[in-house]
Amino acid sequence: MVTMTASATARENGTALRRRIIAAAVELTTGSGWATVTMARLGDEVGVSRQTVYNEIGSKTALAEAMVLTELDRFLRVVEAALDQHPDDLVEAIREAARGVLELARDNTLLHAIVSATHGAGTDLLPLLTTHADSLLATAKSVITDRLAAFTLPLDEDRLAVTIDVVVRFVLSHVMQPSGTPASTADGIAWMVRQALIVQ
């Protein structure tokens, strides 16, 4: 039992350390650029050795992927919270989810650093998003599909899949290049979903 408890504590500490390293990498990237992020510098930031950072994270490419996936998780938690708040109204749930995601994106310094050279980070992380776009889309769509199983919808499986795909891609396009306020864009997305549910 003692061994199991020690192992569990070690895993928790490892997870906590990993989060600290990723957070430090995000801060460095948004502050001085991805090119300045090194395992040695991250070690200095979190108070561990360079080798410990390598052991916890792996390569710099793996670090970049971890940063992107951590941000994706933050966005998906906003979506899940909106769906939970409106269990009987899918249109309103989608409106709140879209607005929340777009508001988070508007204030997300890492996202700004990735897509804009004016933030001092350059665009050398942008290829990571495009290279892994399919897996990011698949993850987002899978989470939403699973959560929509609780709703009673007038859509068969194929049409539901198409609707989710369109909404996710539409939201992501506005995350990367907004053309209106989060609220107005969310209203448009909600209208689109309402039409999809009505036109059968």
- Band of the pLDDT at 55, cuts 50, 70, 90? very high
Residues 6+ apart with CB under 8 A from 199: none
| Complete DSSP assignment for 101-139 | HHHHHHT-HHHHHHH-GGGTSTTTTHHHHHHTHHHHHHH
| Percent of the chain whose predicted confidence (pLDDT) is above 90 | 38
For residue 12, is pLDDT > 70?
Answer: no
Measured at the alpha carbon of residue 153, what is the angle toward residues 151 and 159, in degrees to the nearest 5?
Answer: 125
124-140: average pLDDT: 69
pLDDT over threshold 90, residue 191: yes
Q: How far is CA 22 from CA 65, 127, 147, in A?
A: 10, 19, 28
pLDDT of 172: 85
pLDDT for res 60: 87
For the chain, counts of helices (H) and of strands (E): 10, 0
What local confidence, expressed as pLDDT, does residue 67 receive? 86
pTM: 0.76
Say whether pLDDT at 11 is over 50: no
